[in-house]
Structure 1
Amino acid sequence: MKKYFTIMLLAIFGFAAVSCNDRTNNDVVTTDTYPKMTDITGNFNAGNSYSVSQGLSINSTDVVLVYRQSGVSNGNPIWQQIPRTLFLPEGELDFDFDFTKNDVLIKAGGTIDFSLQTPTFIANYLTNQRFRIVLVPASQGKNSQVDFSNYQSVIKFYNIPDRK
């Protein structure tokens, strides 16, 4: 009886060892990109319908974030996430964007008639406007507490080196 018990015990362990297979194919294929950053400087005018375009390859799993440089503090750019509405004495100025898998289109609009604005207004809000487009993978930020409206939080969370 003792001999049968030992053989039975070895058979059970052998069966368990053979039937337990950790070689299942659970590899997840992701199309997420590594974080990418692109700077664009553009002029908004009637000739380009007050829009600036940047060609990019954007995966369907990317989150597209766009920031406008609104100024400089201690030599460092100040980035504001768009869409954004600026409430100015001349009226409302909106910066907005849309994107496809091939490009990002940044637009200036609002209640202001741009054709009636002073050279100072045009220089401050429509000429040489600098934007930073940041592509981040959606899967990493899904359950995180990253504040996408805060440029510094985004680059810290995704470990993106900042460019001056």
Structure 2
Amino acid sequence: MKKIASLLFLFAMVLTSCTGDQGPVGPPGLTGSPGAPGEDGGIIVSSAFEIEVDFNTDNGFSHTEAYGNNFEVHETDVTLVYMSWETIDGKDIWRLLPQSVIFDDGTLVYNYDFTQTDVRFFLDGTKNLTTLDDEWTQKQFFRVVVIPADNLGVDVSNLNAVMEANNITNFEIK
């Protein structure tokens, strides 16, 4: 038994002591960091705004909002929309769209789509939208966050995590 244990130990030592090619040199780091000096990387900052929307038959239960001159939205950027869902102990609770509400006579879906120039909020579902009470259609608050594709390594379902990861400290009110 001791011989088998000794052979296994010797075999493990041989395998762990092997080395291979060093590999190619990686890209230069930030100026001031150890290693070869490189250029400082830019901070990728997201654009964000908050908007209040009223849905009704006149607007087809839809609202389109242009990003405006303050935004530079690239084709690879991603737009996320959060809805103020409720307030608990004075704290606003935000949910990532789409969100569904189930009624006895159908389902209401808050949804959105986006282009490089605007974002559209709309109501959808199987519920007759004209029968909805004002609490479901009036004074609906949304937060829109445009995220550069480079920053998508974050849990987008958590608004606070998205804000922190993208250096967002406040929202422009539209």
Output the TM-score relative to the length of structure 1: 0.70
Deviation at 1:98, TM superposition (A): 1.0
Matched, 1:53 2:68: no
Matched, 1:159 2:170: no
Aligned with 1:150 (options 155, 158, 173): 158
Tell me how many residue pairs correspond in the alignment: 130
Q: Distance in 1 between matches of 2:157 and 2:122?
A: 18
Residue 63 of structure 2: SS of its match in structure 1? strand
1:94-113, Cα deviation, whole Å (9 max, x unpaired): 01111111110010111111
Q: Residue type matched to 1:88 in 2?
A: F
Residue 123 of structure 2: SS of its match in structure 1? strand
Q: Distance in 2 between matches of 1:73 and 1:33?
A: 32
Matched, 1:127 2:138: yes
Residue aligning to 2:45: 34
Matched, 1:64 2:72: no
Matched, 1:80 2:108: no
Return closer, same or farther for 1:77/1:90 CA change in 2, 3 Å cut-off.
Answer: farther
Q: Distance in 1 between matches of 2:163 and 2:114?
A: 21
Output the TM-score relative to the length of structure 2: 0.66
Matched, 1:89 2:97: no
Residue 79 of structure 1: SS of its match in structure 2? strand
Residue aligning to 1:116: 131
Q: Distance in 2 between matches of 1:41 and 1:129?
A: 5
Residue 68 of structure 1: SS of its match in structure 2? strand
Identity of aligned residues (%): 29
Checking the alignment, whether the CA contact within 8 Å between 2:45 and 2:168 is kept in structure 1 is: no
Checking the alignment, whether the CA contact within 8 Å between 2:50 and 2:142 is kept in structure 1 is: yes
Residue 130 of structure 2: SS of its match in structure 1? helix
Residue 86 of structure 1: SS of its match in structure 2? strand
Q: Distance in 2 between matches of 1:93 and 1:54?
A: 21
- Contiguous gaps of at least 5 residues in structure 2: 1-27, 29-38
Deviation at 1:35, TM superposition (A): 0.6
Give the greater-gyration-radius structure (CA): 1
Cα RMSD (Å):
2.5
List structure 1 segments (4+ residues) > 4 angstroms apart after TM superposition: none
Checking the alignment, whether the CA contact within 8 Å between 2:151 and 2:165 is kept in structure 1 is: no
Q: Distance in 2 between matches of 1:48 and 1:33?
A: 35
Q: Residue type matched to 1:154 in 2?
A: V
Aligned with 2:114 (options 99, 111, 114): 99
Checking the alignment, whether the CA contact within 8 Å between 1:33 and 1:62 is kept in structure 2 is: no
More helix, by proportion = 1
Q: Distance in 2 between matches of 1:33 and 1:155?
A: 12
